Amino acid sequence: MYKLRVNGLSAWFQNKQVLFDIHLEFPEKKVIAIIGPSGCGKTTFLRCLNRMHELTPGARVEGKVILDGKDIYSEMDAMEVRRKIGMVFQKPNPFPHMSIYDNVVAGLKLMGIRDRKILDGIVERKLKEVGLWDEVCNDLKRSGAQLSGGQQQRLCIARALATEPEVLLMDEPTSSLDPASSARVEALIRVLKNNTTIVIVTHNIQQAARISDFTAFIYNGKLIEYGETKEIFESPKDPLTEKYITGRFG
């Protein structure tokens, strides 16, 4: 079962092309790692998967991104796309003037959900899901910005999960965290894939090997190789992939 399909995806910033004719299929309830050196187009590719790329002035996309049989660019509203395909960013970004509680329910309120009992239940469930409930349950009115970096990132993941996305995009979610916090987020990713398809951009080759089921290697905006992570790391087919994962460039 493929949850998300990318057919002939190309992307530009103004006149500069940054992605070139990418074709990929993402299996349902798996973790897919996107690897490649800095500036190769990984984050742009991720942002194209939920139409965030189009928010940048002068940016445009060609090709198709198909979620459950529907092209997200021609057959779905952008708000619906971003509800079904959530995103967690590289740097934890809780809304600074909102409480922990209000951070979690922000997306739900935009969807028109106001029933306090419903919101209370979702807040508790999602904070438990990310392993944060026991740490903050007695202080939900506290500003999300006052939490530690690792706690902030787990809060942002809870916020993304609150709208029940079918796909979760994660752009280097542990790059600004200490090793202990990174390990907690990795453990969380392993649990989340039981219900959600996860696409993670990472510079950390070891992390990709640890947590992903499939790996895509992108270089200079082009897909070089894609396959099961074990195969990519143990017997890559393309010499460029082998050079990258063995640290000979990048």
What are the tens digits of pLDDT across the range 1-40?
789 999 999 999 999 999 999 999 999 999 999 999 998 9
Q: What is the pLDDT of residue 1?
A: 78
- The answer to whether 241 touches 27, Cβ cutoff 8 Å, is no
Contact (Cβ atoms closer than 8 angstroms) between residue 85 and residue 28: no
pLDDT of residue 245: 94
Tokens encoding 84: 């079904």
CA distances from 14 to 37, 57, 88, 138 (A): 22, 8, 26, 49
The sign of the CA dihedral 179, 180, 181, 182 is positive
Return the pLDDT at 248: 85
pLDDT of 176 > 90? The answer is no
Q: What's the rounded mean pLDDT across residues 68-79? A: 94
Q: Is 90 exceeded by the pLDDT of residue 250?
A: no
Per CATH, the homologous superfamily of domain 2-245 is P-loop containing nucleotide triphosphate hydrolases (3.40.50.300)
202 token code pair: 């990472």
Q: What is the pLDDT of residues 102-134, one digit of tens each?
A: 999 999 998 899 999 999 999 999 999 999 999
DSSP-derived secondary structure for 124-172: HHHHHHTT-HHHHTT-TTSBGGGS-HHHHHHHHHHHHHTT--SEEEEES
* Residue 196 one-letter amino acid: T
Residues above pLDDT 70, as percent of the chain: 100
For residues 215 and 181, the model is more confident at: 215
Query: Does the pLDDT of residue 236 top 90, yes or no?
Result: yes
pTM, two decimals, is 0.93
- pLDDT greater at residue 181 or residue 167: 167
Stretch 220-231: mean pLDDT: 97
d(CA 91, CA 66): 28
pLDDT of residue 249: 78
DSSP-derived 3-state class of residue 15: coil
Q: What percent of the chain has pLDDT over 90?
A: 88
Determine contact, residues 22/189, Cβ cutoff 8 Å. no
Full 3-state SS string of 64-105? EEEECCEECCCCCCHHHHHHHEEEECCCCCCCCCCEHHHHHH
Six-digit token string for 194: 């039981």
Alpha-carbon span 215 to 156, nearest angstrom = 24
